[in-house]
Amino acid sequence: MLGARRQHRPNRLPHGVCGLNEIAAVTDGGIEIDEAAIPVAPPVAHACELLGLDPLQVANEGKLLAVVPAAAAERVLAGMRADAQGRAATILGR
C-alpha cells in the first residue's frame, strides 16, 4: 500500500485487537486509538451482544490495519474507500 509504514491482517489472531498491540510494540511512541471509531457492522454487534462477546476480541475476516504517515493518511484513506472492499475504511487513531 502506497505510503504504508506497517500493515497487519488481524483475521487469524486469537484476539482481533492483538494487531494493534503488535503495531504499538514496534513503534517509537506507541499508538493512540479511538475505540469508538472502529467500525463494527450492526449484525456483528448484535450477534456479539446476544452471545456475550466483545467484537474487538474475536477474529476478523477481511480486515487490514495500516500505519501510514499522518501527512498521507487522508490520501491513503481516500484510495482505500475508492475500492468497494474498503468503503468502511476509517482512521482509528494516531
Q: What is the pLDDT of residue 39?
A: 84
Distance between CA 64 and CA 62 in Å, rounded? 7
Q: Give the angle subtended at the CA of 22 by the CAs of 36 and 41, to the nearest 5°.
A: 30
Q: What is the pLDDT of residue 19?
A: 67
User: Which residue matches cell numbers 468502511?
Assistant: 88
pLDDT tens across 2-51, in order? 554 555 555 554 445 666 777 777 777 778 888 888 888 899 899 999 99
Distance between CA 37 and CA 73 in Å, rounded? 15
- C-alpha distances (whole Å) from 30 to each of 3, 4, 81 are 19, 16, 26
Which domains, from first to last, does the chain contain?
A: 6-86 (3.90.650.10)
